[in-house]
Amino acid sequence: MIPDISLTPEQLEQWRRDGFVRLGRVLDDEGLAACRADEGALRAAVGSNERNASTHFWCLVMRQCPGVRRLATSGPQIGAAADILGQDVVLWWNQFVTKMPDGDAVRGEFTWHQDNGYVDVSPGSNLTVWVALDDVDTVNGCVWVQPGSHAQGLLPHNRPREDSWHLQVPVAGDGVPALLRAGEAVMFSGYTLHRSLANRSAAPRRAFFMQYAHADALLPAKNLAAVDHPDAWVVRGGSSRMRPA
């Protein structure tokens, strides 16, 4: 198991300035294989009407997926999250995103958005840790981030296509690609603009992300504390409001 990550002063400065930071490896080879096995089991169970999807999503998978449960509830990224959030940390969302190799530019794209544009978390100190389960680059659909965009706070999002639930913020410029090896992670703020493009490689691009928030965070649109979200897990600390993991 990789030891807890503690952000260096340079990484903390980058977090404040850019709203994202690379964490390096959060999965060793065994952990990576376990997360890939979880993803493989979910993909093998996909029904025939979903088989042609450009992207597969599996959300809130802690209970059925032991590999990602171990990562999300006791992985080294929690140390980095606690450096930002303080010592009471809740995992309130988790999700696999597998981009299939169909290269469909429209269906395969995640337009520029802030994660808080989908579910606003208050206060907005919440963060996402996005873990590559394959080497990711600009060909197979890595995540791109806009450095410094988090400083704008929550931006208005619109729906680029009526037949899609994706949201977007119009953004000029490409941002920077988060090029990662399998098992490495990038951590970004809930206000950091990010996107990903289609997978133009010959193989699926697998990723898993986790959203962490402070114990006192609220999800105003759902009239819910993050800690009371279905399948929220306490991963660090334990204030009186927190349910034990």
Ligand X SMILES: O=C(O)CCC(=O)C(=O)O
Contacting residues toward ligand X, per CB under 6 A: 97, 99, 110, 115, 141, 143, 194, 196, 207
Within 8 A by CB and 6+ apart from 233, the residues are: 62, 72, 73, 90, 91, 245
> Cβ 122 to ligand X, closest distance in Å?
18
**DSSP state letter for 202:** S
Is the Cβ of residue 79 or residue 177 nearer to ligand X in the bound state?
177
CA-based nearest residue to 103, from 208, 197, 168, 40: 197
> Cβ 108 to ligand X, closest distance in Å?
9
d(CA 74, CA 85): 16
> Cβ 238 to ligand X, closest distance in Å?
28
> Cβ 195 to ligand X, closest distance in Å?
7
Residue with tokens 């999300």: 72
Is the Cβ of residue 88 or residue 109 nearer to ligand X in the bound state?
109
> Cβ 49 to ligand X, closest distance in Å?
22
d(CA 224, CA 241): 12
User: Edge-to-edge strands of the sheet including 143-145?
Assistant: 110-113, 194-196, 143-145, 176-177
Quote the radius of gyration of the chain (alpha carbons, Å).
Answer: 17
Question: By beta-carbon distance, which residue lies closest to ligand X?
Answer: 196
Is the Cβ of residue 76 or residue 108 nearer to ligand X in the bound state?
108
Is the Cβ of residue 208 or residue 234 nearer to ligand X in the bound state?
208
Is the Cβ of residue 8 or residue 57 nearer to ligand X in the bound state?
57
